[in-house]
Amino acid sequence: MIAQIIIDIPAQQTNRAFDYAVPPELTTIIAPGMRVLVPFGRSRKKQRQGFVWRLAEKSSFKGRLKPISEVLDLTPVLNEEMLALAEWLAQDTFSFLISCLQTMLPNALRASYQRRFQLQKPLAAGSLLTPLLDSQTTGKIPEQISAPLLRALKTAEQTGQIKIDQQVAQKGQIKEVALYSSNLTMAQATEMAQTTRANAHQQLALLTFLQQHPQFSGTSEQWREALPELKQTTLTTAVKKAWLQRRQIEQYRQPNPLPTPKAALPLTGEQAAAYHAVAQAMTVAQREVFLLEGITGSGKTEVYLAAMADALRQGKTALMLVPEIALTPQMVQRVQERFQKDVAVLHSGLSVGERFDEWRRIERGEARVVVGARSAAFAPLKNIGVMIIDEEHESSYKQDDMPRYHARDVVLHRATTHHCPVILGSATPSLESRARAQKNVYHLLRLTQRPKSAQLPEVKVLDMRSVGKVDGKPSFSQELIDALAQRLKQHEQSILLLNRRGYANFVLCRDCGNVIKCPNCDISLTLHRDIQALKCHYCGHQEAIPQVCPVCHSSQIRDFGAGTQRIEAELAAILPQARILRMDVDTTARKGGHQRLIKKFGRQEADILLGTQMIAKGLDFPNVTLVGVINADTSLSLPDFRASEKTFQLLTQVSGRAGRAEKQGQVLIQTYNPDNYAIQLASHQDYEAFYQREMHLRHVGGYPPYYYTILVSVNHRQEDLAAQKIYQLYRQVSPVLSKSAVLLGPTPRMIARINNQYYYQFIIKYKHEEKLFTTLQRLVLEMQQESGFQLRIDREPLQIS
């Protein structure tokens, strides 16, 4: 028997299965999806981890096959569905198979390599290697090595004093705890108590307890709950005396205590209609995609929960994706309130061990509901009844590294396998999804009302060119400050958004609001300080930074931006009595940072929550009656055809944080572009009108969803080589395209140099292309011969810059 193994080296040369002999003692154990250790490369010693891809009778390889050294799993860590999914994903995203396999597994199951040395002769006194020894004869070589240590290692190896080898280190650790259970009957415990010294108080207390609870068994923590005075040494002594029996049991790490259970709310008419449509598809086990378009606060979550409950009732499982768990702790809480310990939570905020435990609970079928961020799309659930993507328009669902997958595509693909419905939910669906609903590829469901008496907030757009501003603090209009002061008086809370996307990247006239744009494209130019110029990232146009505004000739033209810290300080000076919570990358860097701030705000220990994009979604606080947007414009001027869409989504989402309960909410949007359609329509929460308008512009401009896009990018240390290569690729791709396809570029990338690598790219816009994919696949494979180049092919890139 032979096994085809995918080696864990993500590179073109190793992007195929390698044949290995299966030793006779492993033939009954080994199965596809298991991890193995195999010798790889010239040295026999060098062990690599790999995945069993397939088993076969014979190999087409002519030479002698090396045998598999070790099998690392008792059962496969990737089942048949996952292996097939990986194969599809690798093709769909132009990725290495191994990258796809690894993406599907928790970190704990990915290999890490440890270099060790073995002493052949004793070390001289004072050798630099002595501190590295962890036994008499072996030592661990740290990942980061100082130059003197490296020299010492090399010399010792050359003189035959040590041997160096590389080992696979297992990160996956099952947490175990000791369980102590009574060995004594009631009578025996009484007897022991009589023969124990009277001053051994602890032991006597334990025996007394055992007389009353002869069946008791628990971890040392549980023993201490029962007997608060008990010391660990007493438990150890009791084991020695055979009063107690000690054994190791597996324990899951429990990241957070579960919230108190909450029952389902009676659904409103609209909610019930949406739920029934999904439930119907689930009953007949049909893959159908529903786009749940519901205004902010319309109760989309209740529909999700109802659908998930239905899946569980039918003995199936459910998957729910949310953009970033750290930003939406309330969502996780609501799912846990409903489904309690049936829920597994997967996100990057967990420790490696916690994540591994959650993964195992899913894999074993102990957790039947999964909530998680992007990579939870690969949760090893079986028999899925429904899959949900909340805030489906969010860009965090797309991964930026290989494999460059979109979680939505993964979910839609898995739905085919599981024959189950999918709910894509949003108040502001992506144009791509909404267009599919328009064509009846997806089934559109709408929620147009907030439940109970809650009303949409009143929104006012403040024209920053003309409104009165606070003296010396031009970031604040007087009206916004007055509104904040009034909330302080009424003991109500406010949320202030500082829109930092595209921060300080573009040039704006403070007098007329003009943003400098490219003459060839409908896109703003980006300021490059290093070369003191404005550049277009679509067509390559470049111009000098103007001294005066080309429209109104004012000299008040400059790059735009203001940091959260500065805004906080200014606000504190204007409203000294306000308690302000600042939420940005700096204040949330530590683990659980978001959650701490959000909880604090929820306990009403602050009046104003000031933050970047991260405060815009998911928050549901009944006492928030005012939302202010300090600068609506920044994201409008991104060098990106999705700038308006992103601005509309952001403003709609953040406005939706106000007035979610009985109290009426108000929203104030400060802008230099009050007439811009994205700002106007967001202020009316009019998604439909925005959709129509934006689709028209996309049609005229030839952008998605009217076209598909693929970004081809190449980088190299030497700029001229990167440029030459991109033209060479361009010449290979352009002949296979039909007339309806459009090629943009080649151009240097927005940030042309990162880590001393130069990036060049072109973009393919297309509708149907027969030969394009095979051509691109071939490019990926051909690149292997040439060193120093990295090729990146990104389907539907979220940023074309």
**Binding footprint of ligand ADP on the chain (CB under 6 A):** 265-268, 271, 294, 296-302, 451-452, 620, 660
> What sections of 196-231 are H helices per DSSP?
201-212, 220-226
Shortest distance, CB of residue 571 to ligand ADP, whole angstroms?
27
> CA distances (Å), 417 to each of 83, 383, 497, 542, 653, in order?
13, 9, 42, 49, 33
Shortest distance, CB of residue 719 to Zn ion, whole angstroms?
21
* Residue 268 site contact among ligand ADP, Zn ion, none (CB < 5 to 8 Å, cut-off depends on kind): ligand ADP
Shortest distance, CB of residue 547 to Zn ion, whole angstroms?
12
Closer residue to ligand ADP, CB minimum distance, 302 or 640: 302
Q: Say how far apart CA 644 and CA 635 lie, in whole Å.
A: 8
* Residue 652 site contact among ligand ADP, Zn ion, none (CB < 5 to 8 Å, cut-off depends on kind): none
Tell how many helices (H) and how many strands (E) occur in the chain: 21, 35
Instruction: Give the pair of three-digit tokens for residue 377.
Output: 């799309």
Q: Say how far apart CA 588 and CA 593 lie, in whole Å.
A: 4
* Residue 512 site contact among ligand ADP, Zn ion, none (CB < 5 to 8 Å, cut-off depends on kind): Zn ion
Closer residue to Zn ion, CB minimum distance, 180 or 672: 672
Amino acid at 478: Q
Beta bridge partners of 6: 51
DSSP string, 67-112: BP-EE--SS-SS-HHHHHHHHHHHHHTT--HHHHHHHHS-GGGS-E
- The distance of Cα 360 from the centroid of its chain, to the nearest Å, equals 19
* Residue 93 site contact among Zn ion, ligand ADP, none (CB < 5 to 8 Å, cut-off depends on kind): none
Closer residue to ligand ADP, CB minimum distance, 110 or 276: 276
Q: Say how far apart CA 723 and CA 727 lie, in whole Å.
A: 6
Shortest distance, CB of residue 487 to ligand ADP, whole angstroms?
20
Q: Say how far apart CA 404 and CA 402 lie, in whole Å.
A: 5
Q: Say how far apart CA 651 and CA 670 lie, in whole Å.
A: 11
* Residue 297 site contact among Zn ion, ligand ADP, none (CB < 5 to 8 Å, cut-off depends on kind): ligand ADP
Dihedral sign computed on CA atoms, order 227, 228, 229, 234 = positive
Residue 794 backbone dihedrals phi, psi, to 5 degrees: -120, 115
Shortest distance, CB of residue 697 to Zn ion, whole angstroms?
16
DSSP string, 668-705: EEEES-TT-HHHHHHHTT-HHHHHHHHHHHHHHHT-TT
* Residue 536 site contact among Zn ion, ligand ADP, none (CB < 5 to 8 Å, cut-off depends on kind): Zn ion
Q: Where are the beta strands (DSSP E) in 515-659?
A: 526-528, 533-535, 542-544, 557-559, 580-583, 608-611, 624-629
Shortest distance, CB of residue 645 to ligand ADP, whole angstroms?
19
Closer residue to ligand ADP, CB minimum distance, 298 or 634: 298
* Residue 513 site contact among Zn ion, ligand ADP, none (CB < 5 to 8 Å, cut-off depends on kind): none
Q: Say how far apart CA 554 and CA 546 lie, in whole Å.
A: 11
Shortest distance, CB of residue 305 to ligand ADP, whole angstroms?
9
Instruction: Give the pair of three-digit tokens for residue 220.
Output: 């040392």
* Residue 539 site contact among Zn ion, ligand ADP, none (CB < 5 to 8 Å, cut-off depends on kind): Zn ion
Shortest distance, CB of residue 513 to Zn ion, whole angstroms?
7
Shortest distance, CB of residue 779 to Zn ion, whole angstroms?
26
Closer residue to Zn ion, CB minimum distance, 641 or 707: 641
Q: Are strands 708-716 and 790-795 parallel, antiparallel or unpaired?
A: antiparallel
Closer residue to ligand ADP, CB minimum distance, 265 or 736: 265
Q: Which residues bind Zn ion (CB under 5 A)?
A: 509, 511-512, 514, 518, 520-521, 536, 538-539, 541, 549, 551-552, 554
Shortest distance, CB of residue 656 to ligand ADP, whole angstroms?
6
Instruction: Give the pair of three-digit tokens for residue 797.
Output: 């890139």
Q: Say how far apart CA 791 and CA 788 lie, in whole Å.
A: 10
* Residue 433 site contact among ligand ADP, Zn ion, none (CB < 5 to 8 Å, cut-off depends on kind): none
Closer residue to ligand ADP, CB minimum distance, 161 or 655: 655
Q: Say how far apart CA 382 and CA 620 lie, in whole Å.
A: 32
Shortest distance, CB of residue 297 to ligand ADP, whole angstroms?
4
Shortest distance, CB of residue 452 to ligand ADP, whole angstroms?
5
- The distance of Cα 400 from the centroid of its chain, to the nearest Å, equals 10
- The distance of Cα 665 from the centroid of its chain, to the nearest Å, equals 31
Instruction: Give the pair of three-digit tokens for residue 748.
Output: 């240097």
* Residue 551 site contact among ligand ADP, Zn ion, none (CB < 5 to 8 Å, cut-off depends on kind): Zn ion
Shortest distance, CB of residue 698 to Zn ion, whole angstroms?
17
> What sections of 364-497 are H helices per DSSP?
407-418, 431-438, 478-490
* Residue 700 site contact among ligand ADP, Zn ion, none (CB < 5 to 8 Å, cut-off depends on kind): none
Dihedral sign computed on CA atoms, order 233, 236, 242, 243 = positive
- The distance of Cα 354 from the centroid of its chain, to the nearest Å, equals 16
Q: At what angle do helices 300-313 and 269-283 cross, to 10 degrees?
A: 30
Closer residue to Zn ion, CB minimum distance, 46 or 510: 510
Closer residue to ligand ADP, CB minimum distance, 103 or 301: 301
How many Cβ atoms from other residues are within 10 Å of residue 125's Cβ? 6
Shortest distance, CB of residue 741 to Zn ion, whole angstroms?
19
Shortest distance, CB of residue 59 to ligand ADP, whole angstroms?
55
Residue 582 backbone dihedrals phi, psi, to 5 degrees: -100, 130
Closer residue to Zn ion, CB minimum distance, 400 or 543: 543
Closer residue to ligand ADP, CB minimum distance, 267 or 744: 267
Amino acid at 796: E
* Residue 518 site contact among Zn ion, ligand ADP, none (CB < 5 to 8 Å, cut-off depends on kind): Zn ion
Closer residue to ligand ADP, CB minimum distance, 271 or 683: 271
* Residue 451 site contact among ligand ADP, Zn ion, none (CB < 5 to 8 Å, cut-off depends on kind): ligand ADP
Helix-strand-coil split of the chain, %, nearest 5: 35, 25, 40
Closer residue to ligand ADP, CB minimum distance, 126 or 266: 266
Closer residue to Zn ion, CB minimum distance, 539 or 798: 539
| Number of residues assigned to the chain | 801
Beta bridge partners of 447: 294
Residues 6+ apart with CB under 8 A from 290: 274, 277, 278, 281, 421, 422, 423, 424, 442, 443, 444, 445
* Residue 302 site contact among Zn ion, ligand ADP, none (CB < 5 to 8 Å, cut-off depends on kind): ligand ADP
Closer residue to ligand ADP, CB minimum distance, 198 or 263: 263
Instruction: Give the pair of three-digit tokens for residue 388.
Output: 């949900």
Tell me whether residue 695 is exposed, middle or buried, using C-beta atoms within 10 angstroms of its C-beta: 0 to 12, 13 to 18, 19 or more: middle
Closer residue to ligand ADP, CB minimum distance, 423 or 710: 423
Shortest distance, CB of residue 222 to ligand ADP, whole angstroms?
36
* Residue 213 site contact among Zn ion, ligand ADP, none (CB < 5 to 8 Å, cut-off depends on kind): none
* Residue 646 site contact among ligand ADP, Zn ion, none (CB < 5 to 8 Å, cut-off depends on kind): none
Amino acid at 179: L
* Residue 301 site contact among ligand ADP, Zn ion, none (CB < 5 to 8 Å, cut-off depends on kind): ligand ADP
Shortest distance, CB of residue 556 to Zn ion, whole angstroms?
7
Amino acid at 196: T
Closer residue to ligand ADP, CB minimum distance, 136 or 448: 448
